Amino acid sequence: MRPSDERFEEALRLIPWGTQTNAKRPYPAFDGIMPKFIVRGKGCRLWDMEGKEYIDFRLALGPVTLGYCYDEVDDAVRAQLAHGVLFSMASPIELDLARLVHEMVPNAEMIRFMKTGEDANLSNIRVARAYTGREMILMTGYHGYPDWFATEDSPNNGVPSFMKDYVKILPWGDCEAAERLVRQYGERLACVITIPYDFNADTSGNYVRYLRKLTREYGILLVLDEVLTGFRLAPGGAQELFGVDADLAGYAKAIANGFPLSAYVGHRKYMETLYRFKMTTTYAGEALSIAAAIATLKIMKRDNVHAHLRNMGTRLMEGFAAIVRDIGVDGTPAGLPVAPYVLFAGPDPGYHERLEFLWQRELYREGIFGNPRWFISYSHKAADIDEALEKAHRALRRAVDAEVRERSTVQPFWW
C-alpha cells in the first residue's frame, strides 16, 4: 500500500471524507490514479506524497492566480510576519488593500474584509436586507454552504425548512423565470444574488446584464458573487468584463494568491448600513493574508497579468481544437480563455459526461492535474501549455478508445 493510501485510511477515521473541502475528496473511480494528498507546489506544478509531478490546472479550486509559492507574494508575507499576524486594533495595511480594491473594482466605493467567499456573500445578504428592510432573496447559482444558500436540500443538510419561505431559487441563465419571480415577489425581495458567469459556453454576459436591468426596474439590489470571477476574468472582475455595475459584490479566491481572504464591497449608501448593526469577525483583519493580497493586486496591475492569462488560455484552446481535429472526435473549445474546456458532442446526451470523465482519468495518468474547467495561472508559460497539450492529446486518444468499453461504469463528477 502506498504511503498516501495508508494516510488517507487514517484520515477517514478522524476527518469526515478525509478532507476539509468536499471538492478535494479523492474520486473513488480514479483510485490509484488521482493523488489523495498534495505535499508541495511551485509555479504551476504540484507534487504528491509519492513524488509524482503534475502540471496543475485546478489551482486549489481557483485561488492561485499567480502561481504556487510565488516569491514576491511570499516575501511580502514573511516581511509582515516579522511585525505580527493579528493585533488588538486594526493594522494600517488594511487601508492600503482597501485603496487597491477601490481602484480596481468598479462598484467598490466602500470595502470590508472577511476570510472566505461564503463570508463575503453572506455579509452582502445581511447588508441588502438591512438596507431594504425586506427579508426574501432570489438566488441563482452556487454561493457556498450558509443556510441562505443551501435551502434546496433542506432539511437533509441541517438547514431549517422554513428558510425556503425566504429564499427563492432561480435557474441560472433563465431570463423568463427571473422576470416571473421578480414580478411575483418583488415587494418582498431584498436582493437578487447571482454568479455573473457560470464558466460554461455562454460568454456574452447577457444574463447578468439582464438581471441588472430587471433589478433596477423593480428597486431590488443586485448582489454579484465574484468569488470565482473576481480578479480572474479581468482586473475588475466580471463587472469590468461584462460592463455591469452591481450594488454589492463579494470577492475571495484570486485576491490573495491562495491566502485566506475575502472582501465584500459596494456603493457607499448600501455599505454605510454597517454603521447601524454589528457584523464582524476577529480574523477579518489578519495581516498575513492582507499583505499577500496587497502584493498580489500590485503584481496584477504592474505586470498586466490578465493579458497573460488570456494569451495562455487562448494557446490552450487552440491546442484543444488541434487535438480533437487530429483524433477525429467531435469537440469544441468553449468558455473564456482564463478557464477553458472542451465541449464534446456525440451520439447521445451523456456522451460529453462520459468522455470528460475518462479524459480526466487519463490526464492524471499523464501528470496533468485536471479540472472540468482548466484554470490558467500567471505561472503557466508557453512551454507548460505545450507540454500539457502533448499529454492531453495522448490522454484523450486513450479516453476515446475507452468510451465504448467503459460507458456503463462512468460516474458523474461531484465537483
What's the whole-number mean pLDDT along residues 116-140? 97
d(CA 200, CA 409): 25
Contacts with 85 (C-beta within 8 Å, 6 or more apart), sequence order = 286, 287, 288
Q: Report the run of H or E that residue 215 belongs to, with start and end.
A: helix 206-218
Say if residue 47's pLDDT is above 60. Answer: yes
- Domain presence at residue 115: yes
Q: Distances from the Cα of 399 to the Cαs of 36, 369, 372, 405, 406, in angstroms?
A: 22, 16, 15, 10, 10
Residue at which a domain ends, from 303, 327, 354 = 303
Angle at which helices 287-303 and 93-104 cross, to 10°: 40
Are 154 and 122 within one domain? yes
Are 184 and 260 within one domain? yes
Are 82 and 34 within one domain? no
What's the whole-number mean pLDDT along residues 309-336? 97
Question: Any alpha helices (H) in 36-83, and if so which ranges?
Answer: 71-81
Angle at which helices 206-218 and 175-185 cross, to 10°: 20
Contact between 377 and 44 under an 8 Å Cβ cutoff? The reply is yes
Are 99 and 229 within one domain? yes
How many distinct structural domains can be found in the chain?
2
- Domain presence at residue 164: yes
Say if residue 414's pLDDT is above 70. Answer: no
Residue at which a domain ends, from 285, 303, 321 = 303
Are 170 and 296 within one domain? yes
Q: So what's the pLDDT on residue 348? A: 87
What's the whole-number mean pLDDT along residues 71-80? 98
Cell numbers 504528491 label which residue? 48
Are 24 and 85 within one domain? no
Task: Give the up-direction half-sphere exposure of residue 23: CA atoms within 13 A in the CB hemisphere.
Answer: 11
d(CA 89, CA 87): 5
- Domain presence at residue 129: yes
Q: So what's the pLDDT on residue 346? A: 85
- Domain presence at residue 414: no
**CATH (domain of 154):** 3.40.640.10
- Exposed/middle/buried for residue 109 (C-beta within 10 Å: 0-12, 13-18, 19+): middle
Are 299 and 310 within one domain? no
| Residue 244 lies in domain | 71-303
Q: So what's the pLDDT on residue 404? A: 78
The string of pLDDT tens digits covering residues 258-281 is 999 999 999 999 999 999 999 999
- Domain presence at residue 415: no
Q: So what's the pLDDT on residue 413? A: 60
The string of pLDDT tens digits covering residues 363-374 is 999 999 988 899
DSSP 179-192: HHHHHHHGGGEEEE
Residue at which a domain ends, from 249, 271, 303 = 303
**CATH (domain of 43):** 3.90.1150.10
Task: Give the up-direction half-sphere exposure of residue 340: CA atoms within 13 A in the CB hemisphere.
Answer: 21
Are 286 and 351 within one domain? no
Say if residue 332's pLDDT is above 60. Answer: yes
Are 282 and 345 within one domain? no
Mean pLDDT of all residues in the chain?
A: 95
d(CA 242, CA 229): 11
- Domain presence at residue 380: yes
- Domain presence at residue 188: yes
Residue 244, C-alpha cell as written in the block? 455591469
Are 312 and 298 within one domain? no
Pairing of strands 136-140, 167-169: parallel
Are 185 and 274 within one domain? yes
- Domain presence at residue 379: yes
Are 57 and 113 within one domain? no
Cα angle: 169, vertex 122, 137; to 5 degrees: 30
The string of pLDDT tens digits covering residues 374-390 is 999 999 999 999 999 99
- Three-class secondary structure of residue 312 per DSSP: helix
